[in-house]
Amino acid sequence: MVFRDFYLLFAVVTALTFGQPTFGQSTFGQPKTFYHEDTLKSAAVSVKVRFSHMKMPMVLSGSEYDTLDLGSDGAPGKTVTAYIDSDSMQIRNDNFPFEERHHFPLLLAGRKYTLRLRFNNVRAYFSPEYIRKNSGRTFVEIPETFELANILLMLSPAGQKAGNMVGTGQYHDEVAAYFKPYLGHPVFKVLDVPEARYMTNYYEFRENSICYEFSGDKLTPSRYFLVYGSDDSTYANAFRNRIELVADFARRSKFRDFYQKHLPYYRQLIAQQTEWSDLSGMQKWLEREFVKPKIDCLRLIFSPIIHSTHSTQRFGGFGDDGKYFQERLLFVSGPGDGHPEWNDQQRRGSLAGIVFTEIDHNYVNPRSGDFEAQIDSLFSNRPFWSPGREADFYPKPQLVFNEYMTHALFSLYVLDTFDRPTADFLIARREEMMVNRRGFVKFREFNATLMKMKKESPDKTVSELYPKVIDWCRAFSKQ
């Protein structure tokens, strides 16, 4: 089979582009679409197409549709080859990590089609070496750019008004004192967003900071391209949109010196977070209770000044063996120094609850999706299940159910993991939080029911108990 370079085989190319990719700079890269004028012709009724990660070509046959389409996630050096009769044509993914589309006029057995080949944009790229090195591992870390983002948010006028970050303590005071001379920097003006937009901007700015890392005084792209943002096609987001101001602030304030000076403190917190979180233990427990997903790598990312704003982000990509590599990033608060009246087990269990109820969403949410219609029917009755204001953050019925299930699952975990007095303490606190502070008013009944079901059927997994749980919800809501 003859492979010809795409640009040699098709000399006339009409390209619709929307800017040049200057990835990592303030001018964003853009998706590209190419419309090719030369017609691909074959007497056959099908064309074969193979992306370089595929072992065998895929046959695209003519049908009632006018467009034959095939796409794959982009990757450095990735190619796609179209086989037309005895010839072939190959395209290289040159717009990575942004989307790249190619449209070809196609004539199959005398009928006109359009052949559309796509390299999809990706939110992250995991090299084969990275996958081999990190599969089966867990990490706890305070990334340098993540701490920078949190410090900027804490010091910003909007952050000071919101009060959603740690506001006391030795580290907080050291941050405030060190960076006080730089509060007039223009980065704080752009971070001073209206209250209605603050939380969206907060998460977007904080979490997209991991898409960069320091190279000297410069911020350069990491393996992550986008967590989420205002434009998925260009990766525009609250952090990247302000990247030049962020880098200038870091340089003028000598942030990197501050970070290096506090490395011993960060390492101490990381050691404590690692021990108390027990990511590996949690993952094993959850994989015992749920068939899927298989998470290959967990990264717990935290800052000493995050108070109670947590989230989970999913990333993935195909390895050389064709298997899909899954990584989860958990953004949580640190160990903290609160509640001196608690014993070590109680503090450990409280921190475990923060981490566990982020990890378990990765298992609960897919399983809940298997019962979407039933759950939506039952949990659309919001005044019954979730009249509290915080529940407004969960606009869909299934999201409300998932909150019930993820936090009730933590009760089962602590019963298996901690001594009974500690487990009782943690369960009582969980129920108080869910009912009185978060507004999931039927959580005590839901939690007690799940614990009872598991006790009566210890050989059944939580995944297997789902139909029974939903039946109980239906009967309970009619009382």
The dihedral region occupied by 235, where left means phi > 0, alpha psi between -120 and 50, and beta the remainder, is left
pLDDT in the model for residue 19: 31
Q: What are phi and psi of 163, to 5 degrees?
A: 65, 30
In degrees and rounded to multiples of 5, residue 394 shows phi and psi of -120, 80
Give the model's pLDDT for residue 340: 81
CA 349 to CA 430: how far, in whole Å?
Answer: 11
Task: Please give the model's pTM, rounded to 2 decimal places.
Answer: 0.86
Q: Is the separation of the CB atoms in 51 and 65 below 8 Å? A: no
Q: What is the pLDDT of residues 202-239, one digit of tens each?
A: 999 999 999 999 999 999 999 999 998 988 899 999 99
CA-angle at 389, arms to 387 and 393, nearest 5°: 105
Q: How much is the pLDDT for 337?
A: 63
Q: What is the pLDDT of residue 13?
A: 34
- Cα 251 from Cα 26, distance rounded (Å): 17
pLDDT at position 9: 34
Model pLDDT, residue 164: 87
pLDDT in tens, 408-423: 999 999 999 999 999 9
How far is Cα 87 from Cα 190, in angstroms, rounded to an integer? Answer: 55
Point out the residues of the chain with pLDDT beneath 50: 1-27
